[in-house]
Chains A and B, each alone.
Chain A
């Protein structure tokens, strides 16, 4: 059922490298406005560094707020890359081809955005490197019992893996760009393409490296968000956090938001770069079907988490859940979270018309990510402002303008990253598209001939 463009190699090269070698009209305006948003956020961060954490909304007992929520959110988005490029590659889903690189690039920048959130969050970011086993002169190793030491190792592994992944897949395209660029960019592409000439041996090595990396990076698929969930799950005495279901629940939530973000990016690629020849309604249809499964699995885990929590009938747990659903302002937020993350998108995706339209997918997937951001917020903050036994220490949380600006700036940062990448490197993998064309053939099924992918 996969329809591919019947473009020749020449056309593919030309259309996918057009905006790399040239400059699309809208690009500067888009990049400039994102840069402005990001710089505003960095200004706010400067203020926070200058004044102290007091300029944020966190307090006692709500010591974690928007930044940690945003950290978990961006780690979630980063699961897009691993889902699309590793899982779909190993399961040989053909529709992945035009979006693998976009997903990986999204992963790369969302991981960096997530890490910046940690710098926003801690009291002394200039000492943050102490979390790593680095400063030997201090004579102290990091405490490996702490999830905050597991986090950087998991995220660091993921960051290195993703960077390698992007780079390996980029080599043939860099060579293509090198052959067409002139002047200074040509020199840069020449260095980056590592002397790729397209010999059979080079192709083989490149393909093997890609498959190996996608297999090796698979453990990260389960480790990263499990570890992020343990930031919460290892806590004692914080109702709503210390749940054993958290690791799988967070992973599937991450895939839900990550794959949604990829679908959103696909729509943007169709609109901004006019790649509708490569990203067809069929691709949206496929990712829509995948999303239905992912979202429903996520909902299953969400329901399990609630059932496990309420099954004990502990008064503290019940009080927290009541607080999450029925009290202001968490109640309305919970409603928005439920509707946007599941009850609008999934029924909508059941309709082929929605699945096949970029606009339909764009709106529903944005809703999913609004919902998933709220999900993290509703796990983190209400649990901290729970009705603990010591009544004197009940408190609430409202984000300050600094936190809002900084959270917004991370979105601008990821947007900027993807735009910049697409300006310098081809965002749709050229060689992968050509490979798709090569493998495509028609096969006879009964009296009809249908397009199919032929492999040896």
Chain B
């Protein structure tokens, strides 16, 4: 298209683990209700999930939260293994999933080190009262296919289309452009934008935090060489480091 590359910055030092991103995602993307039996079967679908880790040792212990979602890798391990091109890389740096092509081999999910790909083990169901709540811009996925975070591609598409129609350009930080999770985040942990646009917040944060001298930036599980489009920021807690080393 016009040389965009969508990316996200996750400032872990700001994350409180409130889960509003999770709720926003569930309702934006027509994700079925994850009830207790589904969790116990380990088949809950959560395009974004907040993982909680403990840092340090009691009494100097801290809860740490990491929102994990599709990292939209540039060298995505899920893409080459799909026999039917149900997942491929589009021109805007997104790792997109074409539901209609998927036959459900689940090869991509095995090959994803972040485990952010979800299989529809059951036909999705909502209570009667929720039927009008479903987002008309998003496909309801049937059973037997894979799905995952799309960076709310429907919002990106709509905003780009509107901008083109009005002869304007897509604005950085536009709430209509931002994925649901970014809009819902109360602390500004999640920042979304075009990594190729040097004026955007994500590009600036990447420049200072990932490539800067005292940056807090890193890629999740960098050693797999997947080149994610998501950058995590985290100040190294020296107390915790010491405790860990001591331990």
- Majority SS of interface residues in chain B? loop
Contact A149 B143 (CB under 8 A): no
Q: Is the interface of A mostly helix, strand, loop or mixed?
A: loop
B 101-133 to A, binary, CB cutoff 8 A, 1 in contact else 0: 111111101110111001111110000000000
Q: How far is the CB of A281 from chain B (nearest CB, A)?
A: 46
For A124, list chain B residues within 8 Å (CB). Answer: 102-104, 144-145
Interface segment among A59-67, A80-88, A341-349: the answer is A59-67
Smallest Cβ-Cβ distance to A234: which chain B residue:
B81
**Contact present for A143 and B103 (CB under 8 Å):** no
Which single member of B42, B102, B113, B120 contacts A388 (CB below 8 Å)?
A: B113
Mark interface residues in A196-237 (1 if CB within 8 Å of B CB, else 0): 000000000000000000000000000000000001001111
Given contacts A63-B106, A390-B115, contact A54 B84 (CB under 8 A): no
Closest residue of A by beta carbon distance from B43 = A59
Chain B nearest CB from A422 CB (Å) reads 35
Question: How many CB-defined contacts (below 8 Å) exist between A and B?
Answer: 135
Q: How many Å lie between the Cα of A391 and that of B102 in the bound state?
A: 28
Nearest CB of B to A66, in Å:
14
Contact B122 A54 (CB under 8 A): yes
| A53 vs B83: C-alpha distance when bound (angstroms) | 19
Q: Which of A90-98, A125-133, A250-258, A429-437 contacts B (4 or more CB under 8 A)?
A: A125-133
> In the complex, are the beta carbons of A60 and B118 less than 8 A apart?
yes
Contacting residues of chain A (35-83) with chain B, CB-CB under 8 angstroms: 51-54, 58-61, 63-64
Pairwise interchain contact B104-A148, C-beta atoms closer than 8 A? no
User: CB of A183 within 8 A of chain B?
Assistant: no
A123 touches B120 (CB 8 A): yes
Query: With the chains together, A277 CA to B121 CA distance in Å?
Result: 54
Pairwise interchain contact A53-B115, C-beta atoms closer than 8 A? no
Return the CB mask of B14-55 against A: 1 if under 8 Å, else 0: 000000000000000000000000000111000001011100
Contacts of A125 in B (CB 8 A): 103
Query: Is residue B80 within 8 Å, beta carbon to beta carbon, of the partner chain?
Result: yes
A234–B115 alpha-carbon span in the complex (Å): 17
Q: Given A52-B143, A140-B85, are A122 and B104 also a contact pair (CB < 8 Å)?
A: yes
A15, chain B: closest CB distance, angstroms: 48
Q: How far is the CB of A382 from chain B (nearest CB, A)?
A: 13
B221 interface hit (Cβ, 8 Å): yes
- Asked whether any CB of chain B lies closer than 8 Å to the CB of A163, the reply is no
State whether the Cβ of B82 lies closer than 8 Å to any Cβ in chain A: yes
- Determine if B81 and A122 form an interchain contact, defined as CB atoms under 8 angstroms apart: no
Q: Which residues of A contact B43 (CB under 8 A)?
A: 54, 59-60
Complex alpha-carbon distance, A145 and B43, angstroms: 28
Per-residue interface assignment for chain A, residues 132 to 163, with 1 indicating a CB less than 8 Å from any chain B CB and 0 otherwise: 00000000101101111100000000000000
Please, which residue of chain B has its CB at the minimum distance from the CB of A143? B85
B51, B121, B225: the one within 8 Å of A390 (CB): B51
Asked if B152 is at the interface of the complex by the 8 Å CB criterion, the answer is no
Contact A128 B121, CB 8 Å, known A147-B81, A235-B77: no
Please state if B109 and A53 are interface contacts (CB–CB under 8 Å): no
Q: Which one, B51, B81, B107, B111, contacts A237 given CB within 8 A?
A: B111
Q: Is the CB of B106 within 8 A of A123?
A: yes
Rank and list the top 5 A-B pairs by shortest CB-CB distance, nearest first: A123-B104, A123-B144, A59-B42, A237-B113, A148-B83
Residues of A whose CB lies within 8 Å of any CB of B are 51-54, 58-61, 63-64, 121-125, 127-128, 130-131, 140, 142-143, 145-149, 231, 234-238, 384, 388-393, 395
Contacts A143-B83, A236-B111, A237-B111 aside, 19 further interface pairs with beta carbons under 8 A come to A53-B104, A53-B119, A54-B121, A122-B103, A122-B106, A123-B105, A123-B144, A123-B145, A124-B102, A124-B144, A131-B83, A140-B85, A140-B101, A143-B84, A146-B83, A235-B111, A237-B221, A238-B111, A390-B51
Pull 12 A–B residue pairs with CB atoms less than 8 Å apart, ordered by A: A52-B123, A53-B104, A58-B106, A61-B115, A64-B106, A123-B105, A124-B104, A130-B101, A147-B81, A235-B111, A236-B226, A390-B115
